[in-house]
Amino acid sequence: MTVLPRYRTDPSPRALATRLRALLTADVPVACGVYAGLTDPVPTSALHARITHAMARAFVAGESAAVPRFSLPPSAQLRLLTAASRGRLDGAGADMTTFPVDLASELWWRVHAHAGEPSLRPAERRVACDLFLRLGYPHRAASVIGLTVADARNHTFAAEFAAEQLAVLRCHLPAPAVEALALRGARSGLPAATRRDLALFVVFRAAATGVDSTSLHAAAALAMRAASELPHAGFSDALARVRLHRAVATIPFVRRDIVETHRLLGRAVEGLTSVAPGEAEFDRLAWADEAYALHALLVQTHLAIGLGQRAVGHADELVALSPGDDRTWALRGDALVSCGRLEEAVEAYTQGVALGGWGAARAAHLRGFALQRLGRAVEAEADFLLAHRIDPTASVGGVGVAAGRRATGGRVGAGAPSAVVAATVPVVWAVPADQAVPTVQAVPAVQAVPTASTSAASSGSGG
């Protein structure tokens, strides 16, 4: 199995500012303008961008009741990163009304106007909250559902907005506090579907740490208990069961029990293939949203045990579902590298670079790594420079990209000891969703109540 260098990014606000300045002049514009003005999706728009645009259209058309709950929204920083990649930072304000007129579509202003109406129904408030989080306005998201105080000790979830409140709180409270809140909600008297969703949030967050923790097991048990109280009928219920199997499979995965992991993921795949979406747009998008998450996890699990060829097969499913997502080509490139298919990996990473934006940095660096292994040193060096130009805050093997290049005579791919390919897969290619947009601080809508955990976090290393 070919070993990839560890490519990591700094999630701090200071690094974000550096990254935005670099993107301004990196000449890697994102073609998709969904997150920078709600313009119509293009062929290179990711699945999550198509979902965001469809939600906006449904919201202004008065069809919010037909919008299902999707996966957690992508990074609230996508608006900033997209605008910066296009050489614009005037769209980085915390107020939607200050967004540049020449970038904003008519749909953008219709969303803004409709969200300001005082008589919004609960379904409209739910969709508006999700939309504002996706567009990078967490203060507006909080306002539309009436959330004004983020109190980790005393917060009580509202049944109709529990998922939305949780998503907003992730922008304002430390991750441990949010997980504790979600667990408390999962043990409460909320409706079974709400308790299940709160518990699943904790499962996925805890599993992402790679630690076999008590909170992971507790949340999984709570999710299964809540699911047992729900009917097994209908399209949305079937997708919810697929998500439950996917979540439970993370427990043996963090234990490195691959046999049990694949048994549970097999049940998820069977469930997904047994339910066919109808003609409704949101049914098709919801199915694709769950399918993408499932196949991404399957790529990771197969890479973890060295089954690169099978990982490539699941990466092909990701290509079919969302060819405009830089994560798609990162996973496919990593899978191909693990098989030693370096020429094809170069092609996959090239697709990621072509999508532009911040994701192009990782794609360029790993394309350089593959080119270096192929003996194409000049092209590799150009890619290492491109990656650094897009994101000078990234580190490889625990050192900065520039430092790594100096330490290895320009050969960044041959840097410090690195993990097998599987260890690089969980690297976050988008800014962590619980990293708040720095500009939000200028117009705080949610007042965070200090807790023991927040005090400890603020007095620590600042991570």
Q: Residues 287, 288, 289, 295: is their CA dihedral positive or negative? A: positive
C-beta of residue 325 within 8 angstroms of C-beta of residue 315: no
The 10 Å Cβ neighbour count of residue 279 is 6
**What is the reported pTM?**
0.85
**CA 402 – CA 411 distance, rounded (Å):** 11
Find all residues with CB under 8 Å of 271, minimum gap 6, and list them: 238, 241, 242, 245
Strands 7-8 and 395-396: what pairing?
antiparallel
Q: Find out whether 207 and 188 touch, Cβ atoms under 8 Å.
A: no
pLDDT digits (tens), the chain, 463 positions: 677 888 888 889 999 999 999 999 999 999 999 999 999 999 999 999 999 999 999 999 999 999 999 987 788 899 999 999 999 989 888 889 999 999 999 999 999 999 999 999 999 999 999 999 999 999 999 999 999 887 878 899 999 999 999 999 998 889 899 999 999 999 999 999 999 999 999 999 999 888 999 999 999 999 999 999 998 888 999 999 999 999 999 999 999 898 899 899 999 999 999 998 888 999 999 999 999 999 999 999 999 888 999 999 999 999 999 999 999 999 999 999 999 999 999 999 999 999 999 999 999 999 999 999 999 999 999 999 999 999 999 988 644 454 444 434 444 443 332 332 333 333 333 333 333 333 333 334 455 554 443 333 333 333 3
DSSP reduced 3-state for 432: coil
175 phi and psi angles, rounded to 5 deg:
-55, -45
